[in-house]
Structure 1
């Protein structure tokens, strides 16, 4: 990690009809690293992602990317900034091929394709990078969960982001598939992309993250290395269980 923040979140809050889903949350994401966000279901993790990425305007607070105030920017503007994300619920273009799922995304982002031939070239490179090239002609909706999760990441990567938000890309994977996903995320990070991920699989968090932010009831209750947060008594109580596993 270079140590300089690529993303800075200052005291963001979000209210939904009286429910405070996120409450006064502040943190920084260092450029070049992998940062994780963990917490029980309903802790506000995906809401935080959605605020940062322009899907929800914050009720309070500010979001800065590369020093620029992006608070409340529309979601469609984020690819031009070099930000991409995946979603917890996969929604591939299910009747189209894997390759055709990537082509529309190639026309977005800072280095967008100028024509269909260039889009195919960019998509082919990303499919090779993510290990999906041999399945480029497969119908996306007919693939299993591991490949659809990989396709979700590939669609984000086609926009050539500088920062990638991953929302539970390992949910539903078996241990071997989880290891493959860990390898791919490490490869993505080594290519120069800053990664910010939400994950419940602690083995993945420990193997991937230099820093972990822990949320509970929309508030940050801990921040530090995976070892530091996993040894925090309050984190153990509210998230990992009364006893360390």
Structure 2
């Protein structure tokens, strides 16, 4: 079973800064990590490879520094890794990102002379937190999709999938090829071995730009993004603490009710 895993390098959440002009995340020079949900997706693909054979190819879109997470993916067992990068792709929203990734997936299929049976994405990224890229990518590639997958097993020409919902868990069958977005699974991404790290450093991570793919540049990057961030602001948070205890003036519950009433009135300008 040939799997394509889409991963993203995300900044440490406590170090995010916003470009005041472009209103996009400033990633250069910021300590970054592999998006945790993408790690679950990669581990799921590696386990499928162990069960069924095939190849695991990893694809990411981002600046050149994103090669760091791709090298980690190679170190834990991915067979190949590719980076979509270039000025034409910068500032993309989820629609432009999914379009570009779909073009990259098609280019990889031609380059490697293989078809992908399963495409796996993390259910959402820590920085954008939209959970839109996976479903949008499935639409771009005209594939059936299952979101919030917790566990899956190959079952002949299909997959038996356990999907997490707000009401519990669904078990369903999905034909291949397909796309799944993976939530937190019982299996965290395995740790790389020393040998795996050394082998990963020797592997090339090709960069795919607009010359390597059949893309309409009007649908890529900022130019192809129908959504725009008009304004960003950093919210200042101030906290205070009021200790409550039973006293002659009333019980702690009564004091809390009075305090909440006063705070509500103050917020309304009363």
Give the TM-score of the pair, scaled to structure 2.
0.23
In our comparison, the structure showing a higher alpha carbon Rg is: 2
Hey, which of these two has a bigger chunk of helix by percent? 1
